[in-house]
Amino acid sequence: MLLENKEILVTGCAGFIGAALVKKLLNFNVNVTGIDNLNTYYSKNLKLARLEQIKKNRKFTKGNFNFFQFSLEDWESLRKICFEIDFDIVIHLAAQAGVRYSLKNPESYINSNLVAFGNILDLCKNQDIKNFIFASSSSVYGNNKQIPFNEKDNVDYPISLYAATKKSNELMAHAYSHLYQIPTTGLRFFTVYGPWGRPDMAPMIFTKAILEKRVIKIFNKGNMSRDFTYIDDVVEGICRCCLKPAVKDNQISDFSSKAPYKIFNIGNGKPVNLMRFIEILENSLGIESKKEYLGMQQGDVVDTWANTTNLKDWIGYAPTTSLEKGINNFVNWYKNYYSL
């Protein structure tokens, strides 16, 4: 396995995707350094519990894990770590996530998604990183009408600040990849769900409300769809990208990029209507929900659907988890975690 003995930096390692990724990476003989500021955008206890899980799991795995708590805007703290460790791979997942929250607290998006991103790029430049992977988002497609979304579609019209910061990340990363020849892969995640998921996302919000017999709020009167992507499929995709740094595209393309830079959708490729998603969740919980139908929320997009052909061709990415199975796994974890 080519990951053996690699020094890997994972930012956002106490987050939903980051913690699941670290757990998987530690199956290999690697040194993983994790950074997270453990901010309170959602339950800090959940983030600590994810770190605890990583620790528990480590007894059975080969890799080493070191955790550092600080904000990536803090360049001095980042620099100190770089003096001590030469990283081979940087996987940057830390960000202020969430579309709706970007209307309430724009500042945290500027700090975590732009200032911190700039620091990570400087780290990649200074350390001559051989594989830089970062999290983008399906939200960059905004209200594009042509579905499924393709990486070559125009993404110039974000409809939330969150999406605008993710699109900015893609542009900033391309500039660094071009200037300093940093092999860079940006992954546009599509509604990732599963055990240890985020409390601000629909699976968790709906599950909590249904179990507490509260009404669930259904936006755009249910007329929405999402390309729900199971956490294990996403983690598998990221690991495969760890093994295959981006290279320059030698074929003549409609992009004029000469950088070792790739952007991929990482979704399930099978969008599900919101009402069907709720039905699957109700079946798994064995409870019918009480519903309140509302209008569209500002900043939200109506549909997401990933064309994943490019990632399939690049690393053989092929998600395997059905929504029924993924939701069941999520519900089982939820009941166990909250001792219900």
Contact residues: ligand NAD, CB under 6 A: 12, 14-18, 35-39, 47, 71-73, 93-97, 112, 116, 135, 137, 189, 191-192, 198
CB of 192 to ligand NAD, least distance (A): 4
Q: Which residue lies nearer to ligand NAD by CB, 93 or 155?
A: 93
Q: Which of 42, 141, 162, 176 is catalytic?
A: 162
Please state whether 78 falls in left (phi above 0), alpha (psi between -120 and 50) or beta: alpha
What is d(CA 154, CA 1) in angstroms, rounded to the nearest whole number?
A: 37
Residue closest to 175 by CA, chosen among 136, 124, 127, 111: 124
CB of 77 to ligand NAD, least distance (A): 10
Q: Which residue lies nearer to ligand NAD by CB, 77 or 223?
A: 77
Catalytic status, residue 176: no
Q: Cβ distance 229 to 267 under 8 Å?
A: yes
Which helix (H) or strand (E) segment holds residue 19: the answer is helix 16-25
Residue closest to 208 by CA, chosen among 139, 145, 133, 289: 289
What is the per-residue burial (b if ≥16 Cβ within 10 Å, else e) of 153-178?
A: bebeebbbbbbbbbbbbbebbbebbb
Q: Which residue is nearest to ligand NAD (CB)?
A: 15
Q: Which residue lies nearer to ligand NAD by CB, 23 or 198?
A: 198
CB of 37 to ligand NAD, least distance (A): 4
SS3 249: coil
Q: Which residue lies nearer to ligand NAD by CB, 71 or 289?
A: 71
SS3 202: helix
CB of 309 to ligand NAD, least distance (A): 19
Which residues belong to the active site? 162
